[in-house]
Structure 1
Amino acid sequence: MTASGDTHAGGLRERKKARTRAAIQDHALRLYLEQGYAATTIEQIAEAAEVSQSTFFRYFSTKAETVLYDRLDPVLMDSLLNQPAELSPLAAVRAAIHQVLDQLKPDELELEQTRWRLVAQEPELRSALTDHIAQPTALLTETIAQRVGREPDDIAIVIWAGGLIGAIYAAFFAALQDPDADLIEYIDGAIARLEAGLPL
């Protein structure tokens, strides 16, 4: 097989894996919404997704990961890289968030909101979140470094990414205290305050 054929096959395999992972997560979130996180078993998730438990564990090592895994992260990073060059890094992040979330269908947005609420409500998930934050932070660090033409280990890049992630998570938890809050508005507002130099 030619190199281009190998690349194409690899791309198809990756897309199939992504679809399987997304399907398992969708079924898990729907079950959590219907019967609660604690009451839902991995066996039930696998059955709903029509996969074996061994297949489940190939994609998620724990039940908590079905909630903590954010499939939108790579999509957001792609959008961030493709924002107009004249936008500042923070303005590009805001634009990317709106671009990606505005394209979600109502049922997709509902599942995302379910995922966010579960993270805030379930003690197991809140405890696991601290370790999980390292993954999106590293992804953001690499992406913004690529966008501005600097190295990911540049201390200014590292601090910038950490500050942004911190602001987003602070907005996330603040929004979840208000049942009428628009989470996207909270996050957008947090980034706007960073742009303005965090005025008090």
Structure 2
Amino acid sequence: MKKLLFLLMLMLPFAANAQWRVGANVGASFNHPTIDRQYMTDLQYKDRWGVTAGLMGQYDFNEWLGVRAELNLTQKNYRQTRTVIQGQDYKYLNNYLLMPVMASFGFGSEKIRGFCNVGVYGGYWLNASRKGEDYNSFSQTYFTFSESMDFDKDQDQRWDCGFVGGLGLEYRFCNRWGAQIEARYYHSTTSFRKEMPHFNDKRYHSTFGIQAGVMYFF
């Protein structure tokens, strides 16, 4: 009983300054795929822009420490070309649902503050599509295409997880409302291609983001 009372006394300073906030954010993502091309040396994988948007909730223990959780729809797009086949250009669009959970460290004045978010995330590959152009060697003509992609349960890894971190600036423009802008980085530790027997074909996403949002303080 004495230990419980002691712990409650230690937590009182945190509880006195604790505060909930909720908000929404939107921005742009920039994805860099890391792919082992094996013997396909003519394959070129390139970075590509996308969008990100989501909802957030944060519990602040005090003015410098909080815990933040989000639910985001983030695109991890990339582009594939081949140097041997001129004109082959595939643009892939990949929609992921991500849930980052982060410790949030704040610093600065009451109205304008900097912050740093560090944590982990889990996610799920919702859907994918591609568009572009290719070459038909039989008719010797170029053609364009746009199509949805079906997942291969034996090859495509739809679960995603990794580390996440960000730096940003917060502006409290009135008593209950604030705005944030943040630069963020997602480092995936899960290959989006499953491991095949006797074939090393690991593929990873590294995703940068810039996002802005508004928050309501309770």
- TM interval, shorter chain, is under 0.3
More contact order relative to length (CA 8 Å, sep ≥ 6) = 2
* TM-score, normalised relative to structure 2: 0.25
- Which structure's residues are more often helix, by fraction? 1
* TM-score, normalised relative to structure 1: 0.26
Please identify the structure whose Cα radius of gyration is greater. 2
